[in-house]
Chain A
Amino acid sequence: MLQVAIQKSLGDFQLDVSFDAPSGVTAIFGRSGSGKTSLINAVAGLLHPDAGRIALGDQVLFDDGAGVRRAPQQRRVGYVFQDARLFPHMSVERNLRYGGDHDADRVIDVLGLGDLLTRRPAGLSGGEKQRVALGRALMSDPQILLLDEPLAALDAPRKAEIMPYIERLRDDVQVPMLYVSHDVSEVARLATTLVILDAGSVVAAGPVGEVLSRPAAVPLLGVRDAGAVIVTKVAGRLLDDGLTELAFSGGRIVLPGILGVLGQTVRLRIPAQDVILARAAPDGISALNVLPVTITALEQGRGPGVAVGLKAGDDALLARVTRRSAQRMELAVGQQVFAIIKATAVGPEDVG
């Protein structure tokens, strides 16, 4: 458990954040300039807050009141920078072993670094550099892994190449991670806890599925990116059509593609703008997924849209409709409606 409560003035910018990160992956989400990197630097000890306290488990890393100010060397954090920061004059192997060789064989294996060991950083692709940076951080035997937008500098294919490695770290190595990102689909796929920063303050924090399905989170995430995350299980396969059926507490959702073996857990992000609401069960439409839901919240934004919180079984979903539609349909909290989710609406990068 990481506990952070710090204040720092950086020129005109005020960072004033307070949150707890339980084990698992905690995503720090926010626009550029919202203070994400400053926050993570404070945890690493590269930035000294003006006041506050940072504790990791029972160890105090920083406490202004008690005069504790551990140097980065004494914090045992594994920091993966956005720009990798490999040492240019050392081979990949020397880079990896710079901070120690904790669990070296497994790290090299998990990250697929075996073929790169004798190479120089200058000759590596962006994705390879980030894998080496990850490995180097892990081999220093960190108590927590800090990842500052490790995929931001990569194009989509390279991202797709690294993502499974980070997921394997989350599931196999079980080092707690603080993952800075401004990409909702990354957050939805990786995080267990989500902290949203805006202008240096925490504006939302909690389990990722819960925070992402809050109607109030829509303006924070951006209209395009807002959407609920639900955990589903593979319930069957419609072989003839190449579709996979996923079950969750609110019913079943059918998606194209083979998404895993029977019983496997699949995390699904359903963007709010891809959910259509209907007052009656629709008939004769092409969308495959129609779920009965209850409206839990209606949140009017600044623009023409209304964010609608929905309950499907025990899970929360999020829809976004225009204000005009909301009025015409006379949507109200507690009302039973039908959510129509077009199967293809869930992009492949959001499944996993």
Chain B
Amino acid sequence: MMDALGPAEWAAIWLSLRVAIVATICALPIAIAIAYLLARKEFPGRQLLNGLVHLPLVLPPVVTGYLLLVVFGRQGAVGAFLYDVFGITLAFRWTGAALAAAIMAFPLMVRAIRLAIEAVDPGLEDAAATLGASRWRIFGTLTLPLIAPGVLAGAVLGFAKALGEFGATITFVAAIPGQTQTIPSAIYGLLQVPGEEPAVLGLVIVSIILAMGALLLSEWLGRVMARRVGR
């Protein structure tokens, strides 16, 4: 079956993995910070931030992709700045695909992590404060270890979403083979051509293997962490 996968398909697989991993790793710390803000802090504009975070979940992905193009394209406000100052281009590059995937995965990660933070008794953090621990020490030694299973769940969810992202990615960075063509856009492209069913089947099977693998890995890690947390 793997014979059905040509170099273009393999390139799409590796690219998808790279995009999804980079997207997950870069988005995770920001997702933790935002989730913490939403779960624990009262501030003006909290609902607005919450809405903004969730927007990619409810907007048509094509719209998100278009907005990314407007903002991060070479002519866009942020895109022009990145290009002029750092020489970074996102549009039609794999980094752009990672950005699109990260933004689409972000709401799912924030939701999972926020639930985990809300489940941590703030009384424990109060107790640590009376014992003289700084905010950062409290976060690092108490909050973070206690929410680790939730962070992991969010990361896996985000990774799966990033791996399967299609609409925003293809709108923002198109599907350039070897550059921005991920598994979903490769499958879509192959479906437009007669006689490519074996390659499609191969990519579908790879997708299932990757998704299952991520799920099983997270189950296992989750069990290990839960044991360490003592629950």
Residues of A bordering B, CB below 8 Å? 44-46, 71-73, 75-79, 81, 83, 85, 87-89, 98-100, 120-122, 136-137, 140
Contact = CB atoms under 8 A, between A and B. Distances in A.
Contact of A71 (B123, B127, B129, B228): B129
A89 B145 CA distance: 8
B228 A81 contact: no
Contacts of B228: 89
A85 B123 contact: yes
Interface of B: 121, 123-124, 126-134, 141-142, 145-146, 228-231
Contacts, number: 63
* 10 nearest A-B residue pairs (beta carbon): A99-B131, A85-B127, A72-B129, A79-B130, A89-B229, A120-B230, A88-B230, A140-B131, A72-B130, A73-B132
A122 B230 CA distance: 7
A98 B128 contact: yes
Nearest to B145: A89
A259 to B, nearest CB: 37
Nearest to B228: A89
A263 B117 CA distance: 57
B194 to A, nearest CB: 57
Nearest to B131: A99
Contact of A83 (B123, B134, B145, B146): B123
Contact of B134 (A73, A78, A99, A121): A73
Nearest to A91: B230
A68 B127 CA distance: 22
B146 A78 contact: no
B229 A88 contact: yes
Nearest to B123: A85
Nearest to A76: B132
Given A120-B230, A122-B230, A87 B133 contact: no
Contact of B130 (A77, A88, A122): A77
B191 to A, nearest CB: 48
A89 B142 CA distance: 8
A89 B130 contact: no
A88 B134 contact: no
Select the residue from B126, B132, B146, B231 with max chain A CB neighbours within 10 A: B132
Contacts of B131: 98-100, 136-137, 140
A226 to B, nearest CB: 33
Contacts of B128: 87, 98
A73 B133 CA distance: 6
Contacts of B127: 79, 81, 85, 87
Nearest to B129: A72
B142 A87 contact: yes
A313 B206 CA distance: 93
21 contacts: A44-B130, A72-B126, A75-B130, A79-B130, A81-B123, A85-B123, A85-B126, A85-B127, A87-B127, A87-B128, A88-B230, A89-B228, A89-B229, A89-B230, A99-B130, A99-B131, A99-B132, A100-B132, A122-B231, A136-B131, A140-B131
A107 B88 CA distance: 59
A76 B129 CA distance: 10
A136 B133 CA distance: 13
A173 to B, nearest CB: 17
Select the residue from B141, B142, B230 with max chain A CB neighbours within 10 A: B230
A150 to B, nearest CB: 13
A76 B133 CA distance: 11
A122 B129 CA distance: 22
A310 B196 CA distance: 103
A88 B146 contact: yes
A92 to B, nearest CB: 11
Nearest to A140: B131
B144 to A, nearest CB: 10
